[in-house]
Amino acid sequence: MVSALDRGLLYGDGLFDTLRIWKAQPLFWEDHWSRLQRGMKSMALPISEESGAMQHHLQELLDRNAVRDAIARIQVTRGPGGRGYSPPSHPDPTLIITMHAIDNDFPIEPLSWSLNVASCRTGSGLPHQTVKTCNKWLQIAARMEATQAGFQDALILNEKGHVTESSCANLFIIQGQKILTPPLEDGLLEGTTRGLVMEMAKELGIKCCERSCKLAELQESEGLFLTLSTHGIIHIKALEEHRWHEPHALIQTLYQSYLRKVRSHHSN
């Protein structure tokens, strides 16, 4: 059972990570585990599990639910505590892992989504933004607004008007034969698939740089795509009234490279 005084419930005092399970194996596990460890260290949460033990928990859930393809969510909170913001001096963290079965394999072509621009704004240069904390009201509000307007997701800007990310994914912009992505200090999460795509771009000889971008640059770009662990790469077919009907050749190239990485990771 989870205590009614658990600080994750009371204050969002915890963090989580989401990863794809493909053919009964967690994809790019070490990247996710490293990020989870960095986040726990930055939040001063005791790390009570080793990588192998956590993978054992994942496998047990897969076996119990008789699934091979799923989305796993690992959540760690500071555990129960007294009233007020001050954390307990000796926290007893709560670990929760959930497994969400999915029916579809990675498609041959990348998925396509449409985005709106969220009315809510995030801030830049805030240290907690690099951690996937349990405080996600801004993302919830942005996604609710997008869904009500008929879009799949929302693009979030910071207080300077720079684009950051969508409610659930990192953003890449295509300009000519290069790709751009906003820097972490603009107020976005350091996604594991974001890092993988940047590595793939280097391997493929595609120039990739981190730079702040205004909304107008996206509207004038040759293409946009998102990166996230559950789907890999998603082509943006529309940003409100601006449309890119077919995925740019660079998106296709990167997506096929991503699928090869997935297959290679599984074979290892």
Per-residue pLDDT, 103: 76
Nearest-angstrom CA–CA distance, 117 and 126: 21
Per-residue pLDDT, 178: 95
DSSP at 69:
S
Per-residue pLDDT, 130: 85
Q: Is 28 left (phi over 0), alpha (psi -120 to 50) or beta?
A: left
Q: What is the pLDDT along the chain (268 residues), one digit of tens a residue?
A: 899 999 999 999 999 999 999 999 999 999 999 999 999 999 999 877 899 999 999 999 999 999 899 999 999 999 999 999 999 999 999 999 999 988 778 999 999 999 999 999 999 988 788 899 999 999 999 999 999 999 999 999 999 999 999 999 999 999 998 999 999 999 999 999 999 999 999 999 999 999 999 999 999 999 999 999 999 999 999 999 999 989 999 999 999 999 999 998 766 6
Considering just the CA atoms, what is the radius of gyration of the chain in Å? 19
Per-residue pLDDT, 104: 73
3-state secondary structure 64-107: HHCCCCEEEEEEEECCECCCCCCCCCCCCCEEEEEEEECCCCCC
Per-residue pLDDT, 127: 79
Per-residue pLDDT, 11: 95
* Pairing relationship of beta strands 94-101 and 223-228 according to DSSP bridges: unpaired
Per-residue pLDDT, 5: 96
Q: Is the pTM of this model over 0.85?
A: yes
**Which two tokens mark 16?**
């989580």
Which CATH class, in words, describes the domain spanning 7-101?
alpha beta
Which CATH class, in words, describes the domain spanning 111-267?
alpha beta
Which residue shows structure tokens 């820097």? 183
Nearby residues of 82 by Cβ (< 8 Å), 6 or more positions away? 5, 88
Domain map of the chain by residue range? 7-101, 111-267
